Structure 1
């Protein structure tokens, strides 16, 4: 790890101002990904700005409904928060499927969406990588690409985004609040991350100096018919080969609304809102789920070692939808407690 200067920010305005003055500086909170990148010399920031003292560590209801997740609330505290568990159980399930308890106790809501890919070639300085060094090539295209993307890829990069939390946020339709050098703004979570295109070194659409201050969950809640399925090489502490976040609004066995997001398959959490329309008004049957999965994966491309992911993703979608549709609200017991 190279030497760097450490700065502690007292408030969001100071944090943004300090980073704006340092062209290669980085914010740090939990540091669960940044410090690894620094140790591997992937990131070499000359300035690290500590934002842990900022007043961004609360979860609170929004006046118009919904819930605001402070950027410095840890993933663990978010997953176990009573309001999240009761009203947005999909998010709680997704967070608890990610990383390890130790990492969830450190990782923050603002940092989780900004973690970088776990592509082997990105971490290997001996191989070309457009994400690490733009213009050098993508070693994964013709290399060992078992964990790599099958949707939204380009000839320049087939890396995937590693977050579980972000898959649920994409399904729920969250929004991200940002403070930058030009003031404050809010963007849809769908617009936070980028597909690789011809600039895979850019993971997201934030501008230099931007600080995520909070994430807003919408007023619309999916409390019952939800599922998060994560398929991985081992049950504990592994990134997804394919993950599926499902939130359904049901009337009996009829689907009134469907939200389905995928992880482990693209450079960003993947959601096909047009395909979701074909489930509206339909009974929750395996045939409808299979047809939906075929539509979502119709543009998928395999690169050899990861071609199995196409069929795996289809089956995962059907399984997650089936699980979500089968959930029901527990009826209160009519028997007295003794």
Structure 2
């Protein structure tokens, strides 16, 4: 039997390991869309602080771990699933046939529709590649503005503060961590941050991000004048806020939330709501196709509803069950 797992994060890895325990002779293919060994995104803040190296983010420390378990690793990103034909198509043209499929594609960052989001110096904090770019810019004394003060945003914010940057945080909600904290707790977090020197803007939106200055030098000025852009760096960014304030920054980090990465399942025949809808066994409406982790919408005993619970412990347990 051939098991195909889409996604090489914690859910995908734990599912592959669990299958191997129960099915020693089956074929397992683990599809990942990054060039790194499977790693934990939740470890990235510790990388930013400097507590660990990149290898410290890896889910398994042995470089031969997956080969030892006969788990075939395939690079690529799923672009479509044909549930009837039992095939997955990847962005590199590869087509994989499966007997059983696990969708563990996780989340992707929400990209707010703000002018200037594509400028150099504006980054999400989601991948190791993002982390490298952030570490290059977030040097001591650098001016950093972070969009979003939710749960993940506050973890990123703490890592940035530890790097000694001049930090500003902009949150649309009326308090910090608005989805998890009430007014009192959110206010306590804000007070603590401000005592640490962090500028906090709540109830505020970023309206635009602009270059703070034109590139210097004759080449840069000519290129800008004729609309070609320049290879010479501009001097910082100017961030316009809804309250009328303007904040100068060397780095802007977007931490405005995530959404399940399930767009490739359109027309697949697999039922999706906010995430991939599953039953209590993490199976979808199509027998033999399962989902786990950030992309799965599974039954929650507390609320009695199906929810997307995008935290790593849940991803791990859902993967084991699936």
Structure of greater Rg:
2
Give me the TM-score of the superposition, normalised by structure 2: 0.25
Give me the TM-score of the superposition, normalised by structure 1: 0.24
Q: Identify the structure with bigger relative contact order (alpha carbons < 8 Å, sequence gap 6+).
A: 2
More strand by share: 2
